[in-house]
Amino acid sequence: MQLEATTVDIGTTRPLVLLNTVDAAELGAHPIDRVRIQHAGETTTGIVKRTDELVPPGTVGVTEPLHHVRGTVDVTLAGAPHSVRYVRKKLDDIELEADELEAIVRDIHESRLSDVELSAYVSAVYANGLSLEETKHLTEAMTDVGEQLQWETPVVADKHSIGGVAGNCVTPIIVSIVAAAGLTMPKTSSRAVTSPAGTADVVEVFCDVEFTIAEIESIVEETNGCLVWGGGVDLSPVDDEIIRAENPLSIDPPGQLIASVLSKKRSAGSTHVVIDIPYGEGVKVESLVAARELADDVKRVGDHLEVDVTCAITHGTDPIGRGVGPVLEARDVLEVLEGDGPESLRLKSVRLAEMLLTHCGVDASATEILESGRALERFRRIVAAQGGEPDIESTDLEPGAESTTVRAERTGIATRIDNRQLCELARRAGAPLDSRAGLVIHRTVTDAVESGDRLYTIYAETPTKLAEAERLADRLEPVRVRSKADALVERR
């Protein structure tokens, strides 16, 4: 069928082809079918979207990835890519071979899978899991698609947390300590997947996080470290597409998580990595047994990739820090670097930094580097190198103007703080898209609480989002307070 190509902008980066329903019916094309477009001696493929209004009969609309298509084109039906069969195999809980996983990764990278098919892949992995061999092959395939950083130094330090703990933004502190100790630490981080703030969201409060590879190399040469968004460069770019599909479902299955983390680490040129695996009620990994199993798998995949990985299994029941949300977590980070701040955040940052220094064979004290002010000085250098204001103070970081405080309805003891519920509340308030939204936690587990004491404060940038968070707070109990007698029974 010959049609006139016209460009359309419907806010997508997917290679969509808009066909009027009349032309689609004649062609026999259904939604998310593929069509082959021949133009100027070239052939390209797009995913069908049927419409009654956006394009008239006789015209084919092409979205941004296909904007090079012009003039009169020949449109025919095309079959689905082979990787769709492999997605179906995974839905049937059949283990995939290396070449099948490579095909899925390649087609995700080249935007050949529709959003529905990508969601089906994510759902299949969530429901049926990945074997260790599948995880190894997937990690390799994700690493091989995209750029890879290379460094002259033989030791390149890195750290990653699998997440799930509210306020767990230790990375900027660790990078500042490790870089000040003389190690190279080019830290690429993710934006939020299921949390109210990823490390990149927090760092963006201070400075830019999107840079080219050449710019990253320059920043690291100047400061020994960087704090950048991995999605801003072409390092394991398929990971970002998969995260985009996981985000609405708030899922992060273990095998995919390992492939996500280690493909980024290998692409960043990291040689020595510490992986933080928090466990406990209300976080991603709920038991010590599961945490140990995950740590073993991470190490095995790391060995396969020739990346020296060690895991820190940490208790994740309680939040780390006081703030949850980009600006509030950024304030905690800067307070710790300034010599104050939440003790839980300072202690975990120092312990992980010490572990990473030892893992890299460096004889230095993380505590001394932090307390001497060397870490703060290095953090300010990194912020300046990334286009931020180096002299920013923690007191400059203000949360959203709309707020409400939830208070205790009884006297007793705080027996549990639910990370998952705190994250749900912060996201409902607008985090991470609204950087000043989130909440501040006023109590920790085992604290004595009087009736009327503050438990947590919710911040939002608009009254509407604050009201939405308040309605959710009425149904949840993120900070559980019990009488002393009930608390003793609960502990038993």
* pLDDT the model gives residue 167: 77
* pLDDT the model gives residue 315: 87
Q: What homologous superfamily is domain 402-491 in, according to CATH?
A: Pyrimidine nucleoside phosphorylase-like, C-terminal domain (3.90.1170.30)
Predicted confidence (pLDDT) per residue in 289-340, tens digit: 999 999 999 999 999 999 999 999 998 888 899 999 999 999 999 999 999 9
Q: What's the rounded mean pLDDT across residues 249-269?
A: 90
Which range is least confidently modeled, 204-218, 227-241, 425-439? 227-241
- Is 158 catalytic? The answer is no
Q: Give the global pTM.
A: 0.85
Check whether 361 has a pLDDT greater than 70. yes
Q: What six digits make up the tokens of 79? A: 């079959």
Q: Tell me the pLDDT band of 182, cut-offs 50, 70 and 90.
A: very high
* pLDDT the model gives residue 13: 80
Say which CATH class 2-78 falls into. Answer: mainly beta
Expressed in percent and rounded to 5, the helix, strand and coil fractions of the chain are 45, 20, 35
User: Which residue shows structure tokens 């230095």?
Assistant: 364
Radius of gyration over every alpha carbon of the chain, rounded to an integer in angstroms: 25
Picking from 111, 136, 121, the residue whose alpha carbon sits closest to that of residue 86 is 121
Q: What six digits make up the tokens of 260? A: 């996500």
Query: Is the separation of the CB atoms in 390 and 384 below 8 Å?
Result: yes
Check whether 21 has a pLDDT greater than 90. yes
Say which CATH class 157-394 falls into. Answer: alpha beta
Check whether 492 has a pLDDT greater than 60. no
* pLDDT the model gives residue 336: 98
Check whether 116 has a pLDDT greater than 80. yes
* pLDDT the model gives residue 400: 97
Q: What six digits make up the tokens of 466? A: 């604050």
* pLDDT the model gives residue 491: 54
CATH placement of domain 83-129: 1.20.970.10
Check whether 189 has a pLDDT greater than 90. no
Q: For the chain, give every domain's residue range.
A: 2-78, 83-129, 157-394, 402-491
Q: Tell me the pLDDT band of 490, cut-offs 50, 70 and 90.
A: low
Predicted confidence (pLDDT) per residue in 433-485, tens digit: 999 999 999 999 999 999 999 999 999 999 999 999 999 999 999 999 998 77
Sequence-ordered list of residues with C-beta below 8 angstroms from that of 155, at least 6 positions apart, any chain: 183, 184, 271, 272, 360, 361
Query: Is the separation of the CB atoms in 301 and 139 below 8 Å?
Result: yes
User: Which residue shows structure tokens 């689905």?
Assistant: 80
Q: Tell me the pLDDT band of 374, cut-offs 50, 70 and 90.
A: very high
The 3-state DSSP class for residue 379 equals: helix
In this structure, the chain runs to a length of: 492
Give dist(CA 280, CA 278) in Å, integer.
7
Check whether 283 has a pLDDT greater than 90. no
**Cis peptide bond N-terminal to 390, omega within 30:** no
Give dist(CA 217, CA 239) in Å, integer.
22
Picking from 227, 207, 223, 206, the residue whose alpha carbon sits closest to that of residue 394 is 206
pLDDT averaged over every residue in the chain: 93
Check whether 123 has a pLDDT greater than 70. yes
* pLDDT the model gives residue 64: 86
Q: Beta strands of 373-420 (E only): which ranges?
A: 402-407, 412-417
Check whether 357 has a pLDDT greater than 60. yes
**When comparing pLDDT for 110 and 164, which is higher?**
110
Sequence-ordered list of residues with C-beta below 8 angstroms from that of 403, at least 6 positions apart, any chain: 457, 458, 459, 460, 466
Three-state secondary structure along 216-246? HHHHHHHHCEEEEEHHHCCECHHHHHHHHHH
User: Which residue shows structure tokens 């769709």?
Assistant: 84
The active-site residue, picked from 107, 252, 276, 318, is 252
* pLDDT the model gives residue 487: 67
